[in-house]
Amino acid sequence: MTAPIFLDTSGLYAVFDADDSTHPAVAEAWRTMVDSGAPLCTSSYVLVELTALLQRRLGLAAVEALATFVMPWVNVSWVDDRTHDQALAALLASGKRDLSLVDCASFVLMRRLGVRTALTVDRHFAGQGFTVVPKLS
């Protein structure tokens, strides 16, 4: 069985936005992941953040495409009180202004689920010791 892959906001957004500078590399990584049959997962926080970005920048058609063509294949971990509290504690302990609560919740869930790889262009994932796809310089 292929190892699961966590879908981060930045990675999924780049799949949808052809004008994003990382789109070509992320779209290729996306096709490879889908073809591999790897289990795909994300969090409810990522979905909220991504939906807001897609709606604002690309319109409701992009949100509908996410719901129709991507989400049926993705396992969503819903952020509960415990996960939120752990993520908030990690955010505050980090002292980093550019680290988000959504990222911290992703790290908590990835560790809990044993997921080691993320589709992302966010450098914080590599900084936390996760493997990132695609590898960007």
Give residue 27's domain range. 5-133
Please write the tens of the pLDDT for every residue from 63-113.
Answer: 999 999 999 999 999 999 999 999 999 999 999 999 999 999 999 999 999
> How much of the chain is helix, strand and coil, in % rounded to 5?
60, 10, 30
Please write the tens of the pLDDT for every residue from 38-69.
Answer: 999 999 999 999 999 999 999 999 999 999 99
pTM attached to this predicted model: 0.96
How many domains is the chain partitioned into structurally?
1
Tokens 């996306």 identify what position?
30
Q: 31 is written with which tokens?
A: 């096709």
CATH number, residue 110: 3.40.50.1010
Contacts of 35 (CB under 8 A, 6+ apart): none
Taking the C-alpha atoms of residue 38 and residue 14, their distance in angstroms, rounded to an integer, is 19
